[in-house]
Structure 1
């Protein structure tokens, strides 16, 4: 009898007595994977959607389960195309799918943004690979016990930016296991009516076909061609709804103004802690955190090790808000106290001044001039980086061709916007510009600034 988990999205997930399922179950039991129980899939979205408390632990198991479905699609398609099914590569993809989120830090993309502002541009994919390769961790021995060299195969697949074969598409493509799980899971847990996903119909109409990864170069060389998942023409309506669901989730959930506000407040708090922890004048005590606290250890000079990184999670930071609210540093104390009690900054969306982009820019310029000092002090925070298009992806790289959805038109893969008026209309990115004010009075003053006709 295998191991079983009951999941709100997939129902019963069964781990059989096969080698790969036994390996997956052993990996789930490692401290590195169990840490994902303490990292929320949607970060701070629970401030807006109280049910959005699902974790990257549950999501990762769902991705593994979905990857098994996609492996069977590959097996089916290889038979149709008269090609061999490569089980070893499929097993690498399955384990990569399971472990793909190991490297997420607390509050995920918010934490990456904090690090980037400090000059550390290291995405979670790199942390994931380092955790997998870590000779002192629990992941590597299990992978090497399965097969010598398996560790590097899994880590390399997760680090790879451009696909080389169909197995990469299981982990990273327009129709990968990650988004097939999070779209359904996030829709369910937030309670939003963000489009419909006809999962069974989509899976039934998945085919493997080659797409051009890039354009011909100046020397006239042929573009690179790689196999990926495409959908048959009769699945076009379902494909439109699939992309529309992603678009709506970004609009209603991921880029919700309150969620973005909380993310900016947490980023402000973490930057302030990092600045004091990294100082050489003994100011770390002003954070309110005790000596040896994992945040202080990580942000200290030369503290960004795998061990210190793995000590960080959402629960650690949320559980430290009380101590941070008593910090000697006024910025840390005030911001932590606000987050603890949900006394959030007040939002102002530039769209309130009308849809005309020129008018919006003029109004934003007036507000920035009036509140220049507050913006520098971050008592007014400017958010200009939220842009939503049909391929929008938080922290992603969806401009790449293999991340775009293709439909088979007369058996030739065609990017969906060339066939769908709906997708084409939503393809241009719409930018959302907001300001967050520490007090309501300043927000109201900004609203009353003379509007240009």
Structure 2
């Protein structure tokens, strides 16, 4: 027997009371740090476009843990096949990291990271996650240390690593890691996106472990670094193509949807305005419509970016403050808050409307920037030119690393899939898109002419 949860993607998820790592996971789920993820949507503002996309990072994280257990079993199988020794303690580190990997996401996830970066604070959610895990005043660290002395640092260090060091890291970060195996299926289900299929059981059956080169040889002639990761057999190639196509489709239709991107820019503008007021003179704070003790004000104030203040932030907190901010004295705060409350989005102009030709789009971009320069500076017209869609596109991450690319066996050698698949090769190059968001529909119409 044990604890059970029902999940729309995985069905019944069982936490076996005979498995120490399962019981640790159950206790971790009950901590305030993990429960906070109930109040952070997996897809941020996508529900404004896809009404069913209300799933949380709480549900996703549990799904990632469940999927990570499946990958651990695959790893046991493959290490036995290769006559290698399986390290259960290292596997437990990966399982705990899989469960806790999203603890550091802020409200509206990558949008909040962008706000912080614009303020000169380049601290990604992975670092926040590690800080939350290590926090001596938190509820996570004591549970990890009770499991095994030093376990906290092992888990936090794994989540901070950018490059893999062994096959266990692939469970948490690779082309076939537990995170994407959950979010692709979950986001596809909850948004109703139909294109692209995922034959999960067949993919898992055909997972193998092999070494790949993760960087180019050094100029001094030394050998490139090699690391073990998950690869797929040749007969799983059609399923692998569909897996990547499903991911591509989600980026195209959901993550980079024009309304979603517009809302993200509007929320970014709102939060930057609040941050400006919070970090200014004391009298400025009142212009935000929020009290001096509001968690957003505390966090954006000087020296306010502590773990405690960060954990007080979530989607629900900000959405719950929309009404108060709509009454703000500051024009930017009041305007955006009112628009969000009433779903009055800025109007989008996508340069793709003028055709695929890059020269035509560049000319149109130049003309619009010249004509609406003052509005762009004032952000009544917002320019979105930082996103591109490709088969390996990844929101908020680095998609160029070799261990993040899918490898298929070509004979005895693992090869990056685009070298074997014309379909994937055709989608590998990134398609840049450029959009403008206009507060005044008449200006959008004028920009079209």
- Distance in 2, Cα, partners of 1:29 & 1:400: 35
Give 1:291 deviation, angstroms: 2.1
Which 4+ residue blocks in structure 1 deviate beyond 4 angstroms? none
Give 1:215 deviation, angstroms: 1.2
- Distance in 1, Cα, partners of 2:273 & 2:130: 28
- Distance in 2, Cα, partners of 1:281 & 1:252: 43
1:237 corresponds in structure 2 to 238
Q: 1:289-318, CA deviations, whole angstroms, 9 ceiling, x for partnerless residues?
A: 012000000000000000000000000000
- Distance in 2, Cα, partners of 1:59 & 1:292: 31
- After superposition, where does 1:109-148 map in structure 2 within 5 Å? 109-148=110-149
- Distance in 2, Cα, partners of 1:379 & 1:79: 61
- Distance in 1, Cα, partners of 2:328 & 2:401: 45
- After superposition, where does 1:9-158 map in structure 2 within 5 Å? 9-17=9-17, 18-158=19-159
- Distance in 2, Cα, partners of 1:185 & 1:380: 34
Mapped pair 1:390 → 2:391? yes
- Distance in 2, Cα, partners of 1:81 & 1:215: 27
1:328 corresponds in structure 2 to 329
**What TM-score do the two structures reach when normalised by structure 1?**
0.98
Give 1:282 deviation, angstroms: 2.8
1:3 corresponds in structure 2 to 3
The DSSP-based 3-state class of the residue aligned with 2:137 is: coil
- Distance in 2, Cα, partners of 1:394 & 1:336: 25
The DSSP-based 3-state class of the residue aligned with 2:133 is: helix
Q: 1:160-204, CA deviations, whole angstroms, 9 ceiling, x for partnerless residues?
A: 111111000000000000000000000000001130000000000
The DSSP-based 3-state class of the residue aligned with 2:120 is: coil
- Distance in 1, Cα, partners of 2:214 & 2:444: 47
- After superposition, where does 1:129-208 map in structure 2 within 5 Å? 129-208=130-209
Q: 1:48-102, CA deviations, whole angstroms, 9 ceiling, x for partnerless residues?
A: 0000000000000000000000000000000000001100000000000000000
- Distance in 2, Cα, partners of 1:219 & 1:105: 43
Give 1:45 deviation, angstroms: 0.1
- Distance in 1, Cα, partners of 2:25 & 2:195: 32
- Distance in 2, Cα, partners of 1:233 & 1:315: 46
- Distance in 1, Cα, partners of 2:214 & 2:378: 45
2:430 corresponds in structure 1 to 429
- Distance in 2, Cα, partners of 1:289 & 1:411: 62
- Distance in 1, Cα, partners of 2:372 & 2:285: 30
Give 1:432 deviation, angstroms: 1.1
User: Number of residues paired by the alignment?
Assistant: 448
The DSSP-based 3-state class of the residue aligned with 2:51 is: coil
Give 1:411 deviation, angstroms: 1.5
